[in-house]
Amino acid sequence: MGLSWVDYWNGDSPVYVNDRHKALHAKAVAGDIITLIETPDAKVLDYGCGEALEASRVASRCGTLYLHDAAPAVLAKLMARVADQANIRPVDAEAVWQIEDNSLDLIVINSVAQYIPKDDFAALIARLAGKLKSGGRLVLGDLLPPGLSPVTDAKALLSFGFNGGFLIPAMLGLVRTYFSEYRNIRSALGLMHYAPEEAVGVLEAAGLKGKRLARNFGHNQVRMAFEGRKP
Ligand SMILES: C[S@@+](CC[C@H](N)C(=O)[O-])C[C@H]1O[C@@H](n2cnc3c(N)ncnc32)[C@H](O)[C@@H]1O
């Protein structure tokens, strides 16, 4: 079997330099998702949610939180962790499509687009748009602009490390990444980059009113976020 990004994420993916980095990242992303929730009874899907360490905090601000990740090991861990939380529903690749059409208020897809071939991603967005209710939003976060270099991402990580009190681990983490599987897979498979008008085009092709948001999710503001609202 060939390399795949989902296999990478299904393994013991060492992209976080330490637990503090992981925790601060999860906190920032959860905070950003919460700012997008418009009503306390909102139905929210976090697609490609990863470990979703702050899922409980997000769930406390909405009616139902669906969590989906393509990596089976990530999803299994999540299922065990949130099993006792009534309004959190982890959904696998089949169950995610059983969510009722026209029922979701918000779909968040943060830091996932870069791992999916562009045609597949456009098809995914079109299919997910069918799950949004009228007035609902699909928000894409952490899109890589064209030409974004690993050096620019590295600088953003160092600045996050400086502000978050994990500068030395961030520096060591960068050295580790240089020799890591992530770098090998990145050179073999690449990462998808989007120009702003291209990202808006993907949302519009799915029948959504697309626009770029003022801020990206999380710490790396060189990357971009977009929303598509269903008419
Ligand atoms: C960089 S992590 C982002 C996790 C989380 N959204 C966050 O912001 O912290 C990327 C996640 O996307 C998931 N992923 C990659 N391709 C996917 C796909 N086609 N469908 C669903 N999840 C996918 C991976 O398994 C991984 O957990």
Kindly tell me if the per-residue pLDDT of 73 is higher than 60: yes
Mean pLDDT of 105-124: 97
> Are the C-beta atoms of residues 17 and 173 closer than 8 Å to each other?
yes
Instruction: Give the residue among 70, 131, 141, 78 at the shortest CA–CA distance from 106.
Output: 131
Per-residue pLDDT, 2: 65
Per residue in 32-64, pLDDT (tens digit) is 999 999 999 999 999 999 999 999 999 999 999
Kindly tell me if the per-residue pLDDT of 205 is higher than 90: yes
Mean pLDDT of 63-75: 96
Query: What's the rounded Cα separation, in Å, for the pair 178 and 210?
Result: 36
Query: What's the rounded Cα separation, in Å, for the pair 219 and 59?
Result: 22
Instruction: Give the residue among 140, 132, 133, 139 at the shortest CA–CA distance from 192.
Output: 140
- Of 9, 34, 118, 216, the one to substitute when testing ligand 1's pocket (max ligand atoms within 8 A of C-beta) is 9
Q: Which atom of ligand 1 is nearest to the CA of 217?
A: 8
The H or E element spanning position 224 is strand 224-229
Query: What's the rounded Cα separation, in Å, for the pair 77 and 90?
Result: 10
Residue 29 Cα to ligand 1 midpoint, Å, equals 13
Instruction: Fold for 5-229, please state it.
Output: Rossmann fold (3.40.50)
Listed in order, strand segments (DSSP E) in 78-145 are 88-90, 104-110, 132-143
Residue 51 Cα to ligand 1 midpoint, Å, equals 9
CA 10 to chain centre: 15
List the end-to-end C-alpha distance of the chain, in Å, as a whole number.
42
The 3-state DSSP class for residue 165 equals coil
Per residue in 144-184, pLDDT (tens digit) is 999 988 889 889 999 999 899 999 888 888 888 777 777 78
User: Residues 109, 113, 116, 121: what is their CA dihedral angle, to the nearest 10 degrees?
Assistant: 70
Query: From residue 23, how far is each of 18, 27, 63, 70, 124 by CA, in Å?
Result: 9, 6, 24, 21, 29
Q: Which atom of ligand 1 is nearest to the CA of 25?
A: 9
Among 90-94, 176-180, 227-231, where is mean pLDDT lowest? 176-180
Angle, helices 167-178 vs 150-164, to 10°: value is 150
Query: What's the rounded Cα separation, in Å, for the pair 68 and 12?
Result: 18
Q: Which atom of ligand 1 is nearest to the CA of 71?
A: 25
- Give the residue, by CA position, lying nearest to ligand 1 atom 20: 70
Cβ < 6 Å from ligand 1: which residues? Answer: 5-6, 9, 29, 48-50, 69-71, 74, 110-112, 115-116
Residue 168 Cα to ligand 1 midpoint, Å, equals 26
Per-residue pLDDT, 184: 80
Beta partners for residue 44, in sequence order: 65, 106
The 3-state DSSP class for residue 148 equals coil
